[in-house]
Amino acid sequence: MANHKKSDENLKGTLYATFGLGIFIIIVWALCFNLFIDRF
């Protein structure tokens, strides 16, 4: 039980995908912020 970690328990893709999501959100926000600064 203590050593239930199998070799297929690899969550690298999950980590990168979640980071990618965060980065996408920041990019969209930054683009809109840029538009906002230009206009107001």
Tokens of 38: 């230009």
- Say whether residue 29 binds other proteins (CB under 8 A): yes
Residue with token string 């239930």: 4
Tokens of 1: 């039980």
Residue with token string 């893709």: 13
Tokens of 27: 């990019």
- Say whether residue 2 binds other proteins (CB under 8 A): no
- Say whether residue 39 binds other proteins (CB under 8 A): yes
- Say whether residue 24 binds other proteins (CB under 8 A): yes
Residues of the shown chain interacting with other proteins in the complex, contacts defined by CB under 8 A:
4-5, 8-14, 16-18, 21-22, 24-25, 28-29, 32-33, 35-36, 39-40
